[in-house]
Amino acid sequence: MRIVIAGGHGQIALRLERLLHARGDEVAGIVRRPEQAGDLLAAGAEPVVCDLESASVGDVARHLEGADAAVFAAGAGPGSGAARKDTVDRGAATLFADAAEAAGVRRFVVVSAMGADREPPEGTDPVFAAYLRAKGAADADVRARAGLDWTILRPGRLTDDPGTGQVTLADATGRGAVSRDDVAVVLAALLEEPDTAGRTLELIGGDVPVADAVRNVASH
């Protein structure tokens, strides 16, 4: 498969690129800054420099031509304010979905966030609340698209602990933590399982091997 990843320099994206390259997929990662290209090359991915906050749908669609799947793993990142949560976590996600449809790429996987479907509780940090609202709006936009075979993955609290290869993956899991390693492994498995299309799934650490967890949700 050829897979294009938006936010290709992110921590989960770099892990995913290494996994996909190792199993023989062709991978491209969209990055905003040219100096990030070396890290993608080291991960086995083709770097594509394109700023999703300023690019047109046509610009991005050209980078998606010939792809079998697209993954939105971009985010404004730590230290960014509420405005960029909207322009990246919502706006860039919508643009990337538009571009996938324009390029005829049906398989579309989104890395979202747990809690994105609910109004943030009173007292939530305003920037984090803006992030959750942006993710929720982006997810709603993707779910409304008949032109995409979408899967939305909502991990719990992310850690840098080594992956265990065992998770809990379901429509609702409850709160919990999950390693970025395991998120990447689940994303790689979801890309190979078309029967997870049309699902919004939560992910935390657990005791089910990833392959079995993905197979289980695909069969229900």
Catalytic residues: 131
Please answer whether residues 13 and 31 qualify as being in contact, where contact means their C-beta atoms are separated by less than 8 angstroms.
Answer: no
- The count of other CB atoms within 10 Å of the CB of residue 83 is 11
Contacts with 146 (C-beta within 8 Å, 6 or more apart), sequence order: none
Cα separation, 72 vs 66, in Å, equals 17
Q: Is 15 left (phi over 0), alpha (psi -120 to 50) or beta?
A: alpha
Alpha helices in the chain (DSSP H): 11-22, 37-43, 57-64, 82-84, 93-103, 126-143, 180-191, 210-218
Both tokens assigned to 103: 């390029």
